[in-house]
Amino acid sequence: MKQSIQQIELNKLFFNYPFIKYQDNFEGQKVLNDGTIVIGNRAGPSKYNTIKNTCHELAHLVEIDDKRMRHHGWGLKVPKIYVINQICIEPTTKQITERELRVMAYQSNLLDYIGAKFNLNNLVYALRWLPDTCYLPLEDGSKAYGDGKDHNLDYNEIKASQQRWRVNEVKKLRSIYTIERFISEFNRKIEYMDNHIYEPEFI
């Protein structure tokens, strides 16, 4: 399959190292037995392979701490409980979304850097499926659900307001998680992997 100009640029900038590899038509991230991190261009149930997905996983690599970066799924776990012998995800904060917003700040700056077109609202819209959405505030910062909420919005109005909050957060975070910071942290992680023998360990 012919690669886009942007993918060729990403390969040159970020996949020209022994520890970081790109795999077409692969979803997410995996770690090989030797500690090599493999990043793909698919996300979720989508059939489409896009540069946006590749940049998202690269952004996870840069955002995650060193201890987790060589673990499958970036070593991230979510709180779980059993309900009638069924495992259910049960977050108690909005930390999952907050991490993804930081990642998307890096991702959008990286997409700009390589000249890839994207719509920020569409990019962020995927986060509506995260399990901690009920903890997100409305656009004005007030509570969407639970004790202390002071609105009469219906379900769709709440979801639209939360989406605007997410988009605004990414816009603010882009000035913190800049492309300069991205490149600096990426290079530091390459140096870290070069100087540390890969030893799988459980988090």
pLDDT tens-digit series, residues 29-76? 999 999 999 999 988 766 777 999 999 999 999 999 999 999 988 988
Helices (H), 114-146: 120-125
Q: Which of 99, 2, 1, 122 is nearest to 52 (CA)?
A: 122
**Residue ranges in the chain modelled with pLDDT below 50:** none
Spatial CA neighbour of 132 closest among 80, 100, 86, 96: 96
Burial class, 131, CB count within 10 angstroms (exposed 0-12 / middle 13-18 / buried 19+): middle
What is the reported pLDDT for 148?
83
Question: Given this model, what pLDDT does residue 51 score?
Answer: 94
Residue 1 is predicted with a pLDDT of 54
Q: What is the pLDDT of residue 2?
A: 65
> What pLDDT, on a 0 to 100 scale, did the predictor assign at position 76?
87
How many residues appear in the chain? 203
| pTM listed for this prediction | 0.92
Q: Please report the pLDDT score of residue 8 as a whole number.
A: 87
CB pairs under 8 A, 24+ apart, for 17-22? 17/190, 19/190, 19/193, 19/194, 20/61, 20/190, 22/54
- pLDDT value, residue 79: 78
Query: Which two tokens mark 31?
Result: 């770690």
